[in-house]
Chains A and B, each alone.
Chain A
């Protein structure tokens, strides 16, 4: 069965430090990959997505992610975080041949400290 694993439930980091949020998936078919962000008391919004092409994907707010097919990973990175990046981050996988269905990871809470 397909699954998505976010290895860290919480990631504390100081402001202006770099951060990496990890995401691994398991699937026997081709996948599409997404990162969504959830600010406090809000719904999720799309941060970035990988559908095809370049494996390095840039999103909003300075975030980027790299699709690594051999390691079945799609880690999210930002070189310098801000207090305003404090939020929940969800990795999601869409399966080819099953258009539209997303499988979400457990989520990682990024806590940016001053």
Chain B
């Protein structure tokens, strides 16, 4: 089954404790992206990747890191999480960056930072 898999689904952590949210897709997609979803703000892009070893900042990259060492994986790293990073996070992928191809989303990771 074609899918984008995120882990974990839920995560509670404390301020400053490094964490990684994994994202993997099995569709051989070139383009991958991370979003955060906050009430009243919709989805905002954090980082995106056009291909292996190619990443770029989205609209809200501060406090986050990503890597794209393999085509299928695009982990999101929070080196020193803070409470304002409490949010619902989505990973998405697409065959390319064009608008003809819809984004395929994972089921989300709900992160709470205390």
Contact = CB atoms under 8 A, between A and B. Distances in A.
Interface of A: 4, 6, 9, 32, 34, 36, 41-46, 49, 51, 90, 94, 99-102, 104-107
Contact of B100 (A4, A6, A51, A101): A51
B45 interface: yes
Interface in B96-114: 96-100, 102-108
B46 interface: no
Interface of B: 4, 31, 35, 40-45, 48, 90, 92, 94, 96-100, 102-108
Nearest to B41: A106
5 contacts: A43-B90, A43-B107, A90-B42, A100-B99, A104-B43
A89 to B, nearest CB: 11
Given A43-B90, A106-B41, A106-B42, A99 B97 contact: yes
